């Protein structure tokens, strides 16, 4: 860590890719269910069990898949993820931002913080760009078949991973490190060098934490879906996000220009710390 660390963290669904990842093929094609039917059943299950909605959808995915004889191996999940459609320019985004950060003397790292499925994200062509993919994950047996939930990340649970990044205590299972007392000045990535890109209700607590700690919350919306643009506008109006742009990651887009400005602001902050 010879250069100051900076972080771009992202939600996945609606932020790097349109829609919910489970809806692209798994629910309609492999489970044979309409999206609305699956999510309504998830809600009924969570309410009946007085449980968490993320755990409910993960349980239902496995239960319905077993009923249909759908393969549940880790590689089958990653193969499904390989077919997820990304927003324009996403694949070239990371190298461009890394080069900008490098020119500014920053070591830029990328993270996912998502309620979606880790195994699906691991199958995408951008999986290698991330230091960590923090997302809801399945537990696998000795035959490498999904048998239950290993990790469920709901809307408030997402905030934990901001502090893991802030302290650079990155292992999901490390409870001691994340809870250890650490002075702000000793933390690896101050919040003013973290930007979070998100799109919806599950990102509100993360954006609130970012705002309260001097970070950079960015609302991303699908330019082809007016409803998501309205949601981004509300995040801005409510003070949850500070900036907003459409999900166009190509060079020269509004979002790309915004990212360049954020990196410059982070670099100015580092210079101010060093030289007063």
Residues 14, 209: Cα–Cα separation, whole Å: 20
Question: Any residues with CB less than 8 A from the CB of 217 and at least 6 apart, and which?
Answer: 195, 196, 198, 206, 207, 210, 211, 235, 240, 241, 242, 243
- Percent of the chain exceeding pLDDT 70 equals 98
Residue holding tokens 């309260």?
A: 212
Map residue 32 onto helix, strand or coil: coil
267, pLDDT greater than 60: yes
DSSP annotation string for 120-162: HHHTSTTGGG-SEEEEEEEEE-TTSBEEEEEE---TTTHHHHH
Two tokens, residue 118: 């880790």
Beta-carbon contacts of residue 65 (< 8 Å; ≥ 6 apart): 30, 31, 72
Q: Is the pTM of this model over 0.75?
A: yes
Give the pLDDT of residue 235: 80
DSSP-derived 3-state class of residue 245: strand
**What DSSP element (H or E) covers 92?**
helix 90-103
Half-sphere exposure of 68 (CA within 13 A, CB side): 17
What number of other Cβ atoms are within 10 A of residue 117's Cβ?
26
Say whether pLDDT at 54 is over 90: yes
Average pLDDT value over all residues in the chain: 92
Parallel, antiparallel, or unpaired for β 243-246 and 216-221? parallel
Confidence at residue 202, expressed as pLDDT on a 0 to 100 scale: 72
Give the residue carrying structure tokens 């998502």.
114
Measured CA to CA, the distance from residue 203 to residue 231 in angstroms comes to 11
User: What structural domains and CATH numbers belong to the chain?
Assistant: 5-19+86-275 (3.40.50.1000), 22-81 (no CATH)
Instruction: Give the lowest-confidence range in 96-100, 126-130, 242-246.
Output: 242-246
């Amino acid at each position: 860590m010879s250069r100051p660390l900076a972080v771009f963290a992202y939600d996945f669904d609606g932020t790097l890719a349109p829609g919910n990842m489970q809806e692209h093929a798994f629910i309609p094609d492999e489970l044979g269910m309409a999206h609305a039917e699956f999510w309504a059943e998830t809600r009924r299950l969570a309410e009946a069990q007085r449980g968490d909605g993320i755990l409910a959808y993960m349980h239902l995915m496995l239960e319905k898949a077993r009923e249909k004889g759908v393969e549940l191996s880790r590689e089958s999940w990653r193969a499904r993820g390989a077919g997820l459609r990304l927003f324009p320019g996403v694949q070239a985004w990371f190298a461009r931002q890394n080069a900008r950060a490098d020119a500014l003397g920053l070591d830029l790292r990328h993270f996912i913080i998502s309620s979606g499925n880790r195994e699906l994200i691991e199958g995408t062509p951008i999986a290698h760009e991330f230091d960590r993919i923090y997302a809801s994950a399945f537990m696998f047996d000795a035959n490498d078949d999904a048998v239950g939930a290993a990790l469920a990340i709901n809307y408030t649970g997402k905030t934990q991973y901001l502090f893991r990044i802030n302290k650079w205590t990155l292992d999901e299972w490390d409870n001691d490190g994340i809870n250890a007392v650490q002075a702000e000045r000793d933390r690896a990535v101050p919040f003013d060098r973290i930007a979070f890109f998100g799109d919806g209700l599950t990102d509100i607590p993360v954006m609130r934490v970012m705002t309260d700690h001097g970070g950079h919350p960015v609302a991303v919306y699908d330019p082809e879906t007016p409803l998501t643009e309205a949601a981004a506008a509300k995040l801005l109006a409510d003070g949850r996000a500070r900036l907003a742009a459409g999900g166009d990651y190509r060079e020269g887009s509004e979002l790309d220009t915004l990212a360049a400005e954020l990196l410059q602001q982070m670099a100015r902050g580092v210079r101010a710390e060093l030289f007063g």
